[in-house]
Structure 1
Amino acid sequence: MRKKILYITSLFRKRSCSASIRNMALVNGLAELGNDVTVLTIRYPSKVLDDFLVANLDPKIKLIECDVKLISDFVPSSYTGGSSGVVNSQNIFKKYIKKLFFFPSVDILWLKSKHSIDPGSFDYVISSSDTKSSHFLAEKLIKSCSVKWAQIWGDPWQSDVNTNGIIDGLRASYYEKRFLEQADKIFYVSLPTLELMRNIYPSIKSKAFYIPRSYLRSVTSPSFKSKLTINIVYTGVLKGRSITPLLDSISSFNQTSSALKYRLKIFGKLSEAQLSTLESCDFASYFGEVQLSEVFRAYREADVLLYIGNKSGTTQIPGKLYDYFGTDKPILALVEDEKDRVYQFLKESNRCQIFANHKGSIDLNEVSNCLGSKLVLEEYSPSAISKDFLHLLEVN
């Protein structure tokens, strides 16, 4: 049965943003299933948007972009080539200033923007974070009506690795609990995170579900042929993750192998220290932050895709893993903890060659032996995830 859906998200069609891909894939999938979808988001400068995402929004979707003053006109230097994805100490300083003066995020003025939406005319209001401002706006909109409210959480809040300090933690805990109590349905994009949140908030068990991020589109290559150089590709945020063990492993392998050599290509954000380390390796290349079309081209030309997990103990799964599921390339997964639930999830996917993120543990011979043997995981396609989402949305 066709549903009328209002989808609220602050991150939509933005470049170099995993949440943008997740939101785009889901709303396109919902529209393809015949639903009437309206997206309420923030208007950003065209330079901040990803050309591929802009061009591939389903034309049946109604898009409402709100003017949010400075955010709607400001173009960060990373989008103009100024910092090319390198995170420096000034970026970190700005991050703390934002946390201090703009809660929950710099787009909080979105709540004061003008629009003529009647939330009561929809079957469902769906708010998707990050950023958490989407949940604040949804709460404000539905106060005077009885529409069903579903929340999608890309990350938890109070237990998130980026929630630091007493004040930050207290605010996150208060609003997270408040929003979860009001929701009719709650969705987490990581199964380990869902399990964690059900333990923290037992009252949400019956209305909280797991809905993974889908890939946006499948990327496959012609049948694999033996080659002398194996290209490993990493996309996304590298900052905060350890790349040194892999660099050491590749260096050792290349020095001892006369026939086969590995190369590493990095796309996305990293720290100044990581950039310096990469520049000292003749087998490693850094391409900065790029448009999504270039990411897909990198997937197509790659032989192996690299996944590096978050710190030990976290339940969050980087969104790039689901993009990788949409390819036919082996996934080299480096993990910090072989006993946590994220490791178990990776293992159960049957798509990853998993190693502890230590130099002596990474077996590149094993990786080369599985080239050309993987398939796209169709259960993570936009249509499959959207069908599952609608089913869970309507189940009592």
Structure 2
Amino acid sequence: MNKRLLLISPYFPPHGVVGEKRALNMVNYLPAHGWEVIVLASPPHFQEKEVSSFHEDSTTTVNYGFITPWLRPIINLFTSKPGSSTSVKPDLSKKPSKSLTPLDQYMWDIPGAIKAGKALIRKHKPDVILVNADPWSGLLVGHRLSQWSGIPWVADLRDPWTVFEEKMALRPRVIQRWIHRLEKTFFHSAAHVILNTRSCKERYTEVYPASVSAKFRFVRNAFDQSLYDPATSDAGKDQVYRFGYFGSFRKFVSPESLLKAFALFVQKYDHSPNEVRLVMTGSPNSEFMYYLNELKLQSFCDIQPAVEVSQTIKVLKSWDVLLLVVSNYYQWMVPAKLYDYMAAQKPILALSANTEVNEIIKETKSGFVCQPDDIEQIADQMEYLFQSRLNDLDNHGPIEEYSVTAQVQKMNQILTQVLPDHSK
């Protein structure tokens, strides 16, 4: 008899966001371990394009009931469509506005999600509930459904919550206290709490008593080659050397050091736009456009539109060096794009003081690391890479630990431990 899992994940295809990939991995690969997966997800509030897909043989039941139908249209009237940017000079000293909610934009959908979850439990009788967060609202739904049904649940955090102090500071103190109470409640009631980095698990272990920290596990994100169209390297075909950054810059991830280093690189070593290019995908934010214009790099830069997941490796392999910027604020996190970068097997140049990120790059022989504020070092490393003209990396063995196969195997072990005895 198959084991049944109710997977609660507001982000799920076709949302078109990075956060859906972890849930998608569970759907595509847990069935090979004997799991039948039932998904409770949110319908996309802003339909973009489908960027991920199920395996062709998937029989997963997906219910887009994480919504309060009568309320969501009203909320959407007052919500800006994501992805907009501006080229005006930003006020870099301006403090971000306070967030007045303890959870996220999905908190208004919790009543509808609980109702839909109860219906799925009655119909499919799952053995375990797994919640993929953030969005954090899913944790409250999983907690309430577990209380109602007696089914054990597991909290799977893609990002740290209360220990991400910079994000917590965006909320008033009364909301911060509310969030701390919610997190404690969820961590006490969950059978296991999964963090997605070793450093995040270690940090939470420092915060919580042994009775709670004994539940902590960590399962990193992963790359899934099956999501990508086959691609061969196109780098260097026109003799232009390309440094590429996949994705957009945002709050807590600044392009300043990268752009200043690239400007020094082309100036110090007298490179022309016909020799080297800086490429990025997605929508540039105002800070990126400010420094691009301030440093007079317009003629060196190509901005490409965001691409579907299936095209990721093709785009990455068209570049010679893959740029990674790890903010000092992200000390408990590993950027999701690092796993795609490893899958592309092109040299990575990371601007990072993150110990775990740096260890992964070193252990997998995936590239080079510079201190994020050492502009001279970064520029010199760019010149070294330009002169070396490294080909595709031969490191398939070392990166296999970060594949979806390894990720889901660990997840299966954790979920199996939670199963009631009769279902194992």
Deviation at 1:390, TM superposition (A): 0.5
- 1:200 and 1:105, CA in 2 relative to 1: closer, same or farther beyond 3 A? same
1:311 maps to 2:319: no
Deviations 1:131-155 (A, max 9, x none): 0011000111111232221110111
* Segments ≥4 residues shifted beyond 4 Å: 54-58, 70-79, 84-90, 218-221, 223-227, 257-260
Q: Which structure has the larger Rg? A: 2
1:367 maps to 2:385: yes
1:190 maps to 2:197: yes
Q: Counterpart of 2:241 in 1: which secondary structure?
A: strand
Deviation at 1:16, TM superposition (A): 4.9
Q: Counterpart of 1:264 in 2: which secondary structure?
A: strand
Deviation at 1:179, TM superposition (A): 0.6
Distance 1:151 1:262 in 2: 45
Q: Match of 1:145?
A: 149
Q: Match of 1:43?
A: 43
1:244 maps to 2:256: yes
Deviation at 1:35, TM superposition (A): 1.7
Distance 2:191 2:341 in 1: 32
Name the aligned partner's letter for residue 264 of structure 2.
Answer: S
User: 2:364–2:395: 8 Å Cα contact kept in structure 1?
Assistant: no
Q: Counterpart of 1:236 in 2: which secondary structure?
A: coil
Q: Match of 2:134?
A: 130
Contiguous gaps of at least 5 residues in structure 2: 419-424
Distance 1:294 1:308 in 2: 22
Distance 2:330 2:308 in 1: 32
**TM alignment of 1:380-395, pairs within 5 A:** 380-395=402-417
Distance 1:15 1:275 in 2: 27
Q: Match of 1:110?
A: 109
Q: Counterpart of 1:347 in 2: which secondary structure?
A: helix
User: 2:85–2:284: 8 Å Cα contact kept in structure 1?
Assistant: no
> Considering only aligned residues, what root-mean-square deviation do their CA atoms show, in Å?
3.2
Further displaced range: 64-73 or 318-327? 64-73
User: 1:315–1:342: 8 Å Cα contact kept in structure 2?
Assistant: no
Q: Match of 1:321?
A: 338
Could you tell me which of 254, 257, 263 is aligned with 2:277?
263
Q: Counterpart of 2:143 in 1: which secondary structure?
A: helix
Distance 1:200 1:138 in 2: 23
Contiguous gaps of at least 5 residues in structure 1: none
Q: Match of 2:300?
A: 283
Deviation at 1:175, TM superposition (A): 1.0
- 1:191 and 1:87, CA in 2 relative to 1: closer, same or farther beyond 3 A? farther
- 1:332 and 1:149, CA in 2 relative to 1: closer, same or farther beyond 3 A? same
User: 1:151–1:187: 8 Å Cα contact kept in structure 2?
Assistant: yes
Identity of aligned residues (%): 21
Deviations 1:88-133 (A, max 9, x none): 989xx9x857x31x43111112221142122782121001101001
Q: How many residues align?
A: 386
Name the aligned partner's letter for residue 291 of structure 2.
Answer: T
Deviation at 1:32, TM superposition (A): 4.0
Could you tell me which of 212, 215, 237 is aligned with 2:223?
215
